[in-house]
Homo-oligomer: A and B are copies of this chain.
Amino acid sequence: MLVVMKHGASQAEIDAVVEVIEEMGYEARPMPGAQRTAVGLVGNDGRVDSSRIEALAGVAQVIHVTQPYKQVSREWRPENTVVTIAPGVHVGGNEVVLMAGPCSVESEEQILAAARAVRAAGAACLRGGAFKPRSSPYAFQGLGKRGLELLALARQETGLAVVTEAMDESGAELVAEYADCIQIGARNMQNYSLLRFVGGLGKPVLLKRGMAATISDLLLSAEYILAAGNPNVILCERGVRTFDTAARNMFDLTAIPIVQGLSHLPIVADPSHGTGIRDKVTPMARAAVAAGAHGILVEVHPNPERALSDGAQSLYPEQFAQLVQELRAIAAAIGRTLTPAPGTVPVAVG
């Protein structure tokens, strides 16, 4: 940690900083400069709580050299974490996992049609919401427990692993019962009570990046889950909010290699929410795989123009099937393969 003093800081103010650092059990190294003095703090084993120092007179800024997170850090664990969602579905290794399905579970007919279509195209995992966080209280909020039952039915028939969102503690318990992986949505990324709760449920968690979350914030939220005892966390880039409204969000694909440098946790990407526009989903799904994503989360609906939510960003099943062909070739171009759909054998390229 480096404590930068104000230009005109007095010697007494510098001494006070040194004193507080030593009182906290660390070593202080003043570094006088032409414009101002900085005081280095050494001897810390992890990030130091700087609140006391920041409040001292004469302090301009406190700069942390140590990352605020710990267990999620690649410095804590150098090898990649591979999260196994279901038998044969491993996220974080060399295989790219395709997770696809409708925004919301709407009916038995719809979810079964979607599941069959995405499995036929090559997906290994079914996505679909039973609990929907909607910005308006008057919009469709999902089928709730009935939606989870339908997802379980689709899994039984197709063998696809199931990932679905939970919005609160009671919902998370239900999701843990019916699904293979609990999704925490962007709006709840900093709902720390919920993070701690799902950390205790013993199921893999897919944690989406919040709309204004830095990569560091995302890792800190994952840290809450690991700190609660659950190492099986998959991060998900799904776009952030910026000044440009040309797309629904700004899809930050650079987050993929950055996270892979900072953390051992796997990271997948969601080009459907990342762009919000059907005909941009395909190029950006390709881009995500080319950037090194461990998986892709794509909205596919058997009948997008009848969808109860997100119809405008859902692929038609045939578009998804075409996309999977392209993703297979791009994965091969960088030495990777796609996880095969359940009950199928890997498809060779070329």
Task: With a 10 A CB-CB cut-off, give which of A29, A57, A168, A283 has the most chain B CB atoms.
Answer: A283
One of B192, B284, B350 near A167 (C-beta < 8 A): B192
Cβ–Cβ < 8 Å partners of A12 in chain B: none
315-350 of chain A: CB within 8 A of chain B: 326, 329-330, 332-334, 350
Cβ–Cβ < 8 Å partners of A311 in chain B: 51-52, 54-55
The segment from A92-100, A117-125, A183-191 that touches chain B is A183-191
Q: Is the CB of B34 within 8 A of A304?
A: no
| Residue A227, interface by CB 8 Å | yes
Q: Is the CB of A284 within 8 A of B32?
A: no
- Known: A54-B312, A65-B4, A289-B290. Is A191-B192 also a contact (CB below 8 A)? no
> In the bound complex, what is the Cα–Cα distance between A56 and B309 (angstroms)?
13
Q: Is the CB of A2 within 8 A of B55?
A: no
| Residue A108, interface by CB 8 Å | no
| Residue A211, interface by CB 8 Å | yes
Cβ–Cβ < 8 Å partners of A309 in chain B: 51
Chain A 277-310 interface mask (CB, 8 Å, partner B; 1/0): 1011001101111111000000000001111111
| Residue A79, interface by CB 8 Å | no
Chain A 25-48 interface mask (CB, 8 Å, partner B; 1/0): 000010111111010101111110
Chain A 208-245 interface mask (CB, 8 Å, partner B; 1/0): 00111011110011011001100000000000111111
Q: Is the CB of A34 within 8 A of B55?
A: no
User: How many copies make up the complex?
Assistant: 4
Q: Is the CB of B52 within 8 A of A217?
A: no
Chain A 117-154 interface mask (CB, 8 Å, partner B; 1/0): 00000000000000001111111100000000000000
Q: Is the CB of B290 within 8 A of A286?
A: yes
Q: Is the CB of B138 within 8 A of A70?
A: yes
- Known: A55-B312, A312-B54. Is A190-B246 also a contact (CB below 8 A)? no
> In the bound complex, what is the Cα–Cα distance between A312 and B60 (angstroms)?
10
- Known: A33-B65, A51-B311, A55-B312. Is A244-B252 also a contact (CB below 8 A)? yes
One of B40, B243, B280 near A254 (C-beta < 8 A): B280
Using CB atoms, name the residue of chain B closest to A243: B241
Q: Is the CB of B280 within 8 A of A287?
A: no
| Residue A274, interface by CB 8 Å | yes
| Residue A49, interface by CB 8 Å | yes
Cβ–Cβ < 8 Å partners of A190 in chain B: 133, 135, 187-188
Q: Is the CB of A288 within 8 A of B287?
A: yes
| Residue A193, interface by CB 8 Å | yes
Q: Is the CB of B286 within 8 A of A334?
A: yes
Q: Is the CB of A256 within 8 A of B283?
A: yes
Q: Is the CB of A250 within 8 A of B252?
A: yes
| Residue A173, interface by CB 8 Å | no
Q: Is the CB of A214 within 8 A of B244?
A: yes
> In the bound complex, what is the Cα–Cα distance between A1 and B293 (angstroms)?
35
Cβ–Cβ < 8 Å partners of A312 in chain B: 51, 54-55, 59
Q: Is the CB of B251 within 8 A of A254?
A: yes
Q: Is the CB of A215 within 8 A of B227?
A: no
Listed by A's residue number, 12 A-B pairs whose Cβ atoms lie within 8 Å are A34-B45, A36-B75, A55-B314, A136-B220, A168-B194, A187-B191, A187-B192, A191-B194, A242-B243, A287-B287, A290-B330, A332-B333
Kindly list the 9 A-B residue pairs having the minimum CB-CB distance in the complex, ordered from nearest.
Answer: A212-B212, A55-B311, A329-B333, A290-B290, A54-B312, A187-B190, A168-B193, A287-B287, A287-B291
